[in-house]
Structure 1
Amino acid sequence: MSGTASARDPLEEIELDSEPVFQGGLLKVWRDRVRLPDGSESYREYVRHPGAVVVVAVLPDGQLVFERQFRYPLRKAFLELPAGKIDPGEDILTCARRELREETGYEAENWRYLGVMHPCIGYSDERIEIFFAQGLSQVGHELDEGEFLEILSLSADEAEAAVHQGTITDGKTIAALFRALPLLRGGHTGEVPAFA
């Protein structure tokens, strides 16, 4: 698709005005009046989110680090990869290192950035940055106050089977596993810059 900087996507909706509906500690809900592609107007309600990271962390024996934690909105515990919210102004790699350490007690020597995923495009601007970490060493966790979780490990095959069996249903975990499987199986994922 070629075009100039002034070319607009024919499906773009243009913000006419925007108002906050709810301002919480983590989430902010907005209601925007927009102009639709045909010139008519409508409203869009959505959640603003600060963004997050997810880490596919590989232990020396090849197992992957997982967490099991209770997620209140669905009133049950989920099996997930380590992840967490990006603090204001925080570099995404710094966030990934921090979250891995705080939640699991591991630090990683080698990092790769695998890309970004958008988990709920219909109602949120949330983005989740995906990282691949190797060369893990246990240094002790530093859980946030009020954070409770269990740490366990699965092989890549066990994790993939758990997705197909419906045991792992968390979207960020499924997307990150999908992006990491070629690396886990000795292949490559295209352009994946390495971080020292």
Structure 2
Amino acid sequence: MDDAHLREEGTNSELLFKGNFLHAKRDTVRLPDGKSATREYVIHPGAVVVVPLLDDGRVVLERQYRYPIGRVMTEFPAGKLDAGEDPLVCGQRELLEETGYSAREWAHAGAMHLAVAYSTEIIHIYFARGLSLGDRQLDHGEFLDVTTATPDQLFAWCRDGTVSDAKTLTCTLWLQNVLSGAWALDWQSPALPAGA
């Protein structure tokens, strides 16, 4: 498919903010019709979200206060990629640090772009099974509760608004399709992360 008639070309870039985690930019672009416009967006290092499946059919979730929206959110475990980090290694690390679980098998489900109009963020989706529980290794300043739910409970929470986190909603769609057999996963048994 030829998308040339839709492409925008950057002609200038200005760094608006450089933080420890996020950066903000304002670019000038040439539109397909030759006119100019500006695009403000956030540079994000990328992240991983994990759908941890317990042997009894429940999923592992977290409850964490999210300051920007001022409420506790129910989410699948997730975390940002360190510079140059393999997404699977990040998923293994985050699952262990935040929940205490390590997994025997992993499957890459796909990736999602969270806010395409104003962010470069991409989140890699992994499923994990064959879980074994150890000690959590929370980062300094990280406070969260680990909980579980049946798929039906999670589906109901998505429907009634208890779960409104976009990555968790997307992963729940994946979960429904995997459980129904509509979408297959390619399970692998990678090496366990250090400390597992």
TM-score in same-fold range (> 0.5): yes
SS at match of 2:167: helix
Q: Distance in 2 between matches of 1:130 and 1:82?
A: 11
The offset of 1:17, in angstroms, is 1.5
Gapped regions of structure 2 (runs ≥ 5): 190-196
Q: Distance in 2 between matches of 1:9 and 1:57?
A: 41
* Equivalent residue number for residue 4 of structure 1: none
Residue of 141, 145, 148 corresponding to 1:146: 141
Q: Distance in 2 between matches of 1:116 and 1:58?
A: 19
Tell me if structure 2 keeps the 8 A contact 1:156–1:184. Answer: no
The offset of 1:194, in angstroms, is 2.5
Matched AA of 1:81: F
Q: Distance in 2 between matches of 1:123 and 1:195?
A: 34
Residue of 185, 188, 195 corresponding to 1:195: 188
The offset of 1:182, in angstroms, is 2.1
* Equivalent residue number for residue 109 of structure 1: 104
Identity %: 46
TM (norm. structure 2) is 0.93
Give the stretch that moved more between structures: 9-18 or 64-73. Answer: 9-18
Tell me if structure 2 keeps the 8 A contact 1:48–1:124. Answer: yes
Tell me if structure 2 keeps the 8 A contact 1:32–1:44. Answer: yes
The offset of 1:85, in angstroms, is 0.3
* Equivalent residue number for residue 194 of structure 2: none
Residue of 122, 125, 128 corresponding to 2:120: 125
Q: Distance in 1 between matches of 2:151 and 2:23?
A: 36
Tell me if structure 2 keeps the 8 A contact 1:54–1:130. Answer: yes
Q: Distance in 1 between matches of 2:66 and 2:176?
A: 26
* Equivalent residue number for residue 178 of structure 2: 183
Q: Distance in 2 between matches of 1:10 and 1:60?
A: 50
Residue 169 in structure 1 maps to residue 169 in structure 2:
no
Q: Aligned residue pairs: how many?
A: 189
Q: CA RMSD in A?
A: 1.1
Give the stretch that moved more between structures: 8-17 or 117-126. Answer: 8-17
Task: State how 1:54-93 maps to structure 2 within 5 Å.
Answer: 54-93=49-88
Q: Distance in 2 between matches of 1:152 and 1:54?
A: 16
List structure 1 segments (4+ residues) > 4 angstroms apart after TM superposition.
none
The offset of 1:8, in angstroms, is 4.8
Matched AA of 2:112: M
Q: Distance in 2 between matches of 1:93 and 1:133?
A: 10
TM (norm. structure 1) is 0.93
The offset of 1:61, in angstroms, is 1.0
Gapped regions of structure 1 (runs ≥ 5): 2-6
